[in-house]
Chains A and B, each alone.
Chain A
Amino acid sequence: MADSIKDKVIRIIAEQAVVEPSDVTMDQTLEDLGIDSLGLVESIFAIEEEFDIQVPFNANDPTDSEFDISSVAAIVRAVEGLVADQKA
């Protein structure tokens, strides 16, 4: 199932960045993808809706949130963690 979470997160990020999912790589940052603070808040919202989870994220200081957004890989890992927690 891990693959499908990854695919879904990448799809959400790609949509926000207005690129094809295949153009998103795991080591990219949101900045690399041209996603600004509003785009980030929208992505978080889309992730929450997609997985029916609550993402601990405060736009005041995104880097200080419990939710790691330092790269696409980090976001995928964080979402996988939240989905697993929810099932637990």
Chain B
Amino acid sequence: MKRVVITGAGTINSLGHSVTATLEAMREGRCGIGELETRDVERLQVRIGGQVRDYDAETHFNRQQIALYDRFTQFTLLSARQAIEQSGLSFAGELAAKTGVVLGTAGGGVQTWDENYRAVYEEGKNRVHPFVVPKLMNNAAASHVSMEYNLKGPTYTVATACSSSNHAMGQAFHMIRSGMSPVMITGGSESMLCFGGVKAWEGLRVMSKDACRPFSLGRNGMVQGEGAGVFVFEEYEHAKKRGADILAEVVGFAMTSDAADIVMPSKQGAARTIAAALEDARVSPEAVGYINAHGTGTAANDKTECAAVADVFGHHADNLMISSTKSMHGHVIGGTGAIELLACVMAVRDGVIAPTIGYEEPDPECALDVVPNQAREAKVDVVVSNAFAFGGLNAVLALRRAS
């Protein structure tokens, strides 16, 4: 089996428009969540979110591109550009033929759906822009990355709600590990902070109206964010031969289904997936120093996740750190795993553990070291990133410090 390393990373999210800015915000425990700015916000019950600020599509894309790029595609392309630039790769010949793009998104072009439903239903228009379909489709972002960089290998989109990015990155990992592709562009994107997107989530009654406070007693729900995270996954020898800067090694992945409930998480399902990812990585639970939690800030997820971690790690659960960066960037749904993997890279590469901010009071049902409110310096070798989606679909990745 081939080894898989990360040689490029890019992002845009509510914490910043680059990896550097995002990691700086995480180190400082800054919150990207604020008042939502969207049309008809006064008709929403939930009016906060981790929105991408100071963003003007026209500074990055021309008019023809904007006609084809939903906001989730724009975020993907900007992140992919950063990641591929950092990797130093250019794609031609055999490498281009074998390199593909696997990305996660839950909703795809939600803003495009929203705008055009509004046009035909609310405004009574009988005609929509000719590019509505290619703009809203879930695979638009993956296809545009493929087109932009001449990537002709396996390219598709994974939609498993909040696990989408982790599933996508797990697939990219498998493709390189098996020898199918030397390089894969992977990660995910989401942008549904529009009226219809937020309204749909409101219906479930799991959204907080004030803040995302994972693991903290009295937490009252999740807060949605938006953005993208994109990585260059590369076969180790391929990266080494060209002297690439290796950010981290991807060592394990597991995915399972709870086969139980469409919204409630399962301790057994979560535990089974974490354990399988460690087994896949051939590392002992004791080697894990940090877990980037799914940590949505709902009562159900956080206590279930902590119980699962306690089950898998036993006494070692008290030694490791677990934090939820959703407290800062919000829950980026299908893109969240990719943005959260940045915190994992920071942990193994820079020895900085991102905090769980907004933490007020310990919850006896979440009695782990959740790195409350302040980032911490710590040398960790192996880290784990959890994603447990609606639908009972779990996807867990394990990274190791580059060696």
Interface residues of A (CB under 8 A from B): 37-38, 41, 44-45, 54, 57-61
Contacts and interface: CB of A to CB of B under 8 A. Distances in A.
Contacts of A57: 205
Contacts of B264: 37
A59 B220 contact: no
Given A37-B264, A60-B220, A60-B221, A44 B299 contact: no
6 contacts: A59-B204, A59-B221, A60-B205, A60-B206, A60-B219, A61-B299
B300 A60 contact: yes
A52 B263 CA distance: 27
A1 to B, nearest CB: 27
Contacts of A38: 262-263
Given A58-B221, A60-B219, A44 B262 contact: no
A44 B262 CA distance: 19
Nearest to A38: B263
Complex A-B, nearest 9 residue pairs according to Cβ-Cβ distance, in ascending order:
A59-B205, A60-B299, A60-B221, A59-B206, A61-B299, A60-B298, A41-B205, A60-B220, A58-B220
A38 B63 CA distance: 44
B93 interface: no
Interface in B260-278: 262-264
B203 interface: yes
Q: Is the interface on chain B under 10, 10 to 19, 20 to 34, or 35 or more residues?
A: 10 to 19
A60 B262 CA distance: 16
Interface of B: 45, 203-206, 219-221, 262-264, 298-300
Tell me whether chain B's interface is mostly helix, strand or loop, or mixed.
loop
A57 B209 CA distance: 12
Contacts of A61: 220, 299
A57 B263 CA distance: 17
Contacts of A54: 45
A37 B262 CA distance: 11
Nearest to B264: A37
A44 B205 contact: yes
Contacts of A41: 203-205
Contacts of B263: 37-38
A54 B202 CA distance: 12
Given A58-B220, A60-B220, 18 more contacts: A37-B263, A37-B264, A41-B203, A41-B204, A44-B205, A54-B45, A58-B205, A58-B206, A58-B221, A59-B204, A59-B205, A59-B221, A60-B219, A60-B221, A60-B298, A60-B299, A60-B300, A61-B299
